[in-house]
């Protein structure tokens, strides 16, 4: 796609800010490869890069009236939004890792959980998963018993990747809280 000169870019930016959906299409067509590439390089995951690209353009569109073409070029503004969405994704990943580590390290009746999966642990997890709402149950069963990745679960259930990650994060939090309340040893 040919580069826009400053005047054409200013016209496009003004139309975008005014809510012209054709301008949104042009902005997306022109700069989504840049946004996607930045996200993919930082996150290293195609699904997360696609999510960041979508979130960036949704955020740009919903906050377009806050964009001032006299203060910044449109692609620079989009890159700023992209960097924020990438940071949000890194933070969400870190929270999920912390929750998973905390759940794995939780002591039940004085016995430290290990990487070994035995029947008692499987039954305990299955019982806790059964207490979740049906959508979360389905996601957690695929994650823990079928050992599918978040992206594989999203594809199989035809859900957005972010929804799958949210189900897993909330479910792990609920399960951890219940398991700690039920199996924590006094004084620990």
Query: Per-residue confidence at 94, pLDDT binned at 50, 70, 90?
Result: confident
Rounded Cα–Cα distance for residues 50 and 137 (Å) = 26
Query: Per-residue confidence at 107, pLDDT binned at 50, 70, 90?
Result: very low
Q: What is the pLDDT of residue 178?
A: 82
Topology, domain 109-183: Arc Repressor Mutant, subunit A (1.10.10)
Topology, domain 6-92: Rna Polymerase Sigma Factor; Chain: A (1.10.1740)
Nearest to 42 by CA among 79, 83, 70, 78: 83
Give counts: helices (H), strands (E), the chain.
8, 2
pTM: 0.56
Instruction: Tell me, yes or no, if the two domains 6-92 and 109-183 fold the same way.
Output: no
Q: With pLDDT > 70 as the criterion, what percentage of the chain qualifies?
A: 84
Where are the alpha helices (H) located in 18-45, listed in sequence order? 21-43
Query: Per-residue confidence at 88, pLDDT binned at 50, 70, 90?
Result: very high
Please determine, for residue 112, whether its predicted confidence score (pLDDT) is greater than 80. Answer: no
Provide mean pLDDT across the span 127-132: 84
How much is the mean pLDDT over the chain? Answer: 84
Provide mean pLDDT across the span 32-60: 94
Task: Break the chain into its structural domains and give their ranges.
Answer: 6-92, 109-183
């Amino acid at each position: 796609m040919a580069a826009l000169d400053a005047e054409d870019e200013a016209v496009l930016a003004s139309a975008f800010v005014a809510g012209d959906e054709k301008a949104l299409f042009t902005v997306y067509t022109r700069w989504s490869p840049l946004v996607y590439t930045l996200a993919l390089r930082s996150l290293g995951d195609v699904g997360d890069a696609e999510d960041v690209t979508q979130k960036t353009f949704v955020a740009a569109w919903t906050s377009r009236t806050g964009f001032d073409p006299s203060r910044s070029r449109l692609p620079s503004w989009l890159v700023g939004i992209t960097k924020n969405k990438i940071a949000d994704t890194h933070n969400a990943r870190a929270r999920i890792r912390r929750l998973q580590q905390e759940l794995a390290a939780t002591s039940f009746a004085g016995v430290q959980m290990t990487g070994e999966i035995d029947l008692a642990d499987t039954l305990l997890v299955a019982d806790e998963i059964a207490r979740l709402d049906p959508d979360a149950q389905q996601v957690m069963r695929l994650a823990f018993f079928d050992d599918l990745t978040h992206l594989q679960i999203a594809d199989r259930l035809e859900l957005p990747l972010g929804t799958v990650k949210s189900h897993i994060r909330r479910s792990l939090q609920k399960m951890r809280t219940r398991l700690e309340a039920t199996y924590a040893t006094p004084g620990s």
